[in-house]
A and B are shown apart, each in its own frame.
Chain A
Amino acid sequence: MQALELSGIYKNFGSVRAVESSNLTFAAGELTALLGPSGCGKTTLLRMIAGLEEPSGGSILLGGRDITGLAAHQRKFGMVFQNFALFPHLSVRENVVYALVISGVSKTEAMETGNRLLDLVQLSGYGDRRIGELSGGQRQRVAIARALAQEPEVFLLDEPMSALDAKLREDMQVELRLLQQRLGITTVVVTHDQREAMTMADKIVVMSQGRVEQVGPPHQIYHRPENAFVADFIGKANFFDGVIEKGGIRVGSVLLQAQAAANFLNGSPVRVACRPETPCFFQRDAAGTSLKSKVTFVRDVGAVRDIHLETEIGRMIVEYARGETDHDFRIGQELSIVLPADGLHVFPRAEQAVA
């Protein structure tokens, strides 16, 4: 398997820049997720990789070889489409071996490969069925097997789980990840579901408005977001606007202790992000800022409860996991919470410094 490299690639649709100039490397054998909201340019980027969209500039390199000028049928990257794009006039097996048949592989060999791939995606015995007889999950497996039949150097998936129901989606995420690890194929998945990206990817590329916002492994993206967009888009976060003051952050009447504040000059306007699982209840010795708060709403979602609080610095949602001590929260109850100094993410805010 070879690494895929995008160098200064961008795409314009008329006067609209769909994808800003991007430099990305997809390491050999790794699964990379292109993650972002609808219209952020992730699918356009994937289609440029596949050869289905011509870049307005920049180059695509596969193992150091420039493939920018190659058409899709010359690149032969296996691709799974959002709606699976299976051929209704062919049986399941004929769909799977399509790439082999058109490339002139003998029928016997193609059928053997087809059966092996159907085994791989746990659909042996389904080869003679029509596409219309399959469920959504089965269709997705056929689409995966079909894309893998030509043993592509790069495997591309465009929102492959979006047509599946929630339960099946979670199962397929794990299955797809295990399959990719078994085959060790360089894979790029487009998704707008951050949970899906976190589950499957070795590396996540977060995109917004055609730009690459951050690239990194899932834990880094989650725990060390580089900007407010990433902090907001990946997982949940409480946001507060403040100003740097004496090594802390002034938010209203409260001076928050935050390790990250040391990176900013006094008077700099900043935005603070705090993950809902970061604040601590009932731990008075925790290092950080203690805030008075009042419970306004409790949302029980099973394993955890979202506690909605009105605090001195604004409204917050704090996640409380049921542990050995199961506290009872009541609306109107007054509580003290601690925001740990190392749990606050601080980003510059586009605003003039307060004098």
Chain B
Amino acid sequence: MTLVSDTQAAVVHPKPQSARFTVSVPAVVLWTVILFLCLTPFLLVLAISFGQKIEGASWEWAFTFANYERVFVGANWPEEFTALYLQRLYYSLFYAVIAALLAILTAFPFTYLMTRLSRRAQSAWLVFILSSLSLSEVFIVMGWDVLLSNRSGLPMVFKETGLTDWLKANGYFETMREWGLANPRNVKFKTSVFATVLTMAYLVWPYAVILLYPPLSRLDRSMIEASQTMGAGPWTVMRTVILPTMRLPLLGATLLLFVFLLGVYVAVTVFAEPAKQTMAVSVYEAVRGNTLNAPFGSAQAVVLLCTAAIFLVAGQWISRKSAP
């Protein structure tokens, strides 16, 4: 082949590699900004978590595992083992799991019934639910605080309507006391696990509907009809067709809500007992509270983040394993 024909070939068929490595300046800037915004806060928290608190002052950069040690075994280990922060982590997980499940369990039938409505009715419901997302956590918690407060909320309604007396007369009051939902005089919801979980579930309920709506509206109706023609009643259809078909979206939605709920702060501070506060509250107290111990707060934040990551990875593994 001559030089001319080689050149022509190069002109006619430009090498794709040259195009592959072409990078535009705006793309580089965009990616840099995105990476900076995503990674910097996390990397800073990670770095600070190895820092060291200066008693009576702020903190300094260091490389010590003391903060992590304090989270897992307590500050006085090995002399003494303290599980205070592990307990906080446990309550973080406990509230988040229960509230996420509660939100999904109540949102699922609602969303399923919603997808059976006319298009117009579905749109109206979606707009209503989306608009409820504009309410902040503080606003929602304030509403529930009033609703569940002992003097002006539901306990007062219980007392005034005679429901408290009825509960006492029928022996249910003692059970409620055992569950921490009553004092000797009347029912009480503040502070309680019940109120904390209920408010947290309420907080994420619109998200649950929005996460479940797309897969439920795409659900093949003919599968439901097929099972009906094979003798399946409504509950059997739900149990054997709808729930198994929806298990991956259900798992995904539960995980997302769970991760979101791990970080809930206001609802926990208002409704949870001091001994049953979560790690998110503890992080804030360490960083901004009286102690001003940013390294220890950061270590707790990293532990919380890693916990969320473990659950997400596990969820991903389960989805992959059970994918049809």
Contacts and interface: CB of A to CB of B under 8 A. Distances in A.
B140 interface: no
A98 B228 CA distance: 11
B222 A98 contact: no
B34 interface: no
B324 A85 contact: no
B220 A85 contact: yes
B274 interface: no
Contacts of B228: 51-52, 71-73
B241 interface: yes
- Interface residues on chain B, size class: 10 to 19
Contact of B240 (A71, A83, A102): A102
Contact of A99 (B220, B223, B230, B244): B230
B150 interface: no
Interface string A315-331: 00000000000000000
A98 B230 contact: yes
Contacts of A88: 245, 324
Residue of B228, B230, B231 with highest tally of chain A CB at under 10 A: B230
| Residue among B225, B241, B244 with max Cβ neighbours from chain A (10 Å) | B225
A147 interface: yes
Contacts of B306: none
Interface in B194-232: 220, 222-223, 225-232
A130 B233 CA distance: 25
B151 interface: no
Contacts of B226: 79, 81, 85-87, 146
B229 A52 contact: yes
B236 interface: yes
Nearest to A133: B324
Interface string A42-71: 000000001110000000000000000001
B182 to A, nearest CB: 44
B288 interface: no
Contacts of B116: none
B229 A77 contact: yes
A158 to B, nearest CB: 9
A102 B229 contact: no
A197 to B, nearest CB: 22
B229 A50 contact: yes
Given A98-B240, A130-B324, A146 B230 contact: yes
19 contacts: A50-B229, A51-B228, A52-B228, A52-B229, A72-B225, A73-B229, A73-B231, A77-B229, A81-B226, A85-B220, A87-B226, A88-B245, A89-B244, A102-B236, A131-B324, A146-B226, A147-B230, A150-B230, A150-B231
What are the 7 closest A-B residue pairs judged by CB atoms, nearest first? Answer: A99-B230, A85-B222, A85-B226, A72-B228, A88-B324, A79-B229, A89-B244
Interface of B: 220, 222-223, 225-233, 236, 240-241, 244-245, 247, 324
